[in-house]
């Protein structure tokens, strides 16, 4: 009796997961450049960390300075979300544009994963110890990777859709 109930619950959970996965794939396939740009978080910008972050990698701040400029967890969460959106933009470019640099696309995917892991580590540490040295170092590392990813995304957009670069710069 209990085994049968567990099997039914497992099947319902699997069905729900597959439904959610399929709807997410459908939603992703229906996206456009404009809808992706609109999803970028404009309430926080890495401009506070580096004036040239869309054109070259690197920060003009110390870990302590970067933590305060990114407004702590608020900036980390914005980086987390924007990294996912930039990954979706790279996938959109790979799917819809010809002669896309596949190495650049894979680098963007890798950057996004590393940023998200660093952000989650920093937020977890922040939850336990507030703004300790480890939190600031992980936040600084995530911000450094984020500026690199933004620079590579700008490079990708310049190659495949130069008219979108001003919109990307404005959204970032």
Map out the domains of the chain as residue ranges. 1-30, 32-171
pLDDT tens digits for range 119-165 = 998 888 888 877 678 788 888 888 888 888 888 888 888 888 777 77
Instruction: Name the residue with higher pLDDT: 101 or 109.
Output: 109
What was the pLDDT predicted at 6? 84
pLDDT tens digits for range 59-76 = 667 778 878 888 888 888
With pLDDT > 70 as the criterion, what percentage of the chain qualifies? 89
What was the pLDDT predicted at 112? 92
Say what the pTM is.
0.77
Judge whether 135 and 103 are in contact, CB under 8 Å.
no
**Phi/psi zone of residue 72: left (φ > 0), alpha (ψ -120 to 50 degrees), beta?**
left
């Amino acid at each position: 009796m209990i085994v049968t109930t567990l099997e039914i619950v497992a099947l319902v959970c699997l069905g729900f997961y597959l439904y959610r996965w399929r709807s997410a794939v459908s939603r992703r396939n229906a996206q456009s450049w404009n809808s992706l740009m609109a999803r970028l978080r404009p309430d926080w910008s890495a401009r506070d960390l580096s004036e040239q972050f869309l054109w070259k990698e690197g920060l003009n701040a110390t870990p302590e300075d970067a933590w305060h400029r990114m407004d702590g967890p608020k900036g980390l969460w914005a980086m987390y979300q924007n990294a996912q959106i930039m990954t979706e933009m790279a996938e959109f470019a790979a799917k819809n544009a010809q002669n896309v640099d596949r190495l650049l696309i894979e680098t963007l995917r890798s950057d996004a994963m590393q940023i998200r892991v660093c952000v989650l580590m920093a937020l977890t540490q922040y939850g336990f110890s507030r703004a300790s040295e480890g939190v600031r170092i992980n936040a600084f590392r995530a911000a450094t990777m984020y500026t690199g990813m933004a620079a590579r995304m700008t490079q990708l957009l310049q190659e495949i859709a130069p008219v979108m670069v001003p919109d990307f710069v404005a959204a970032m």
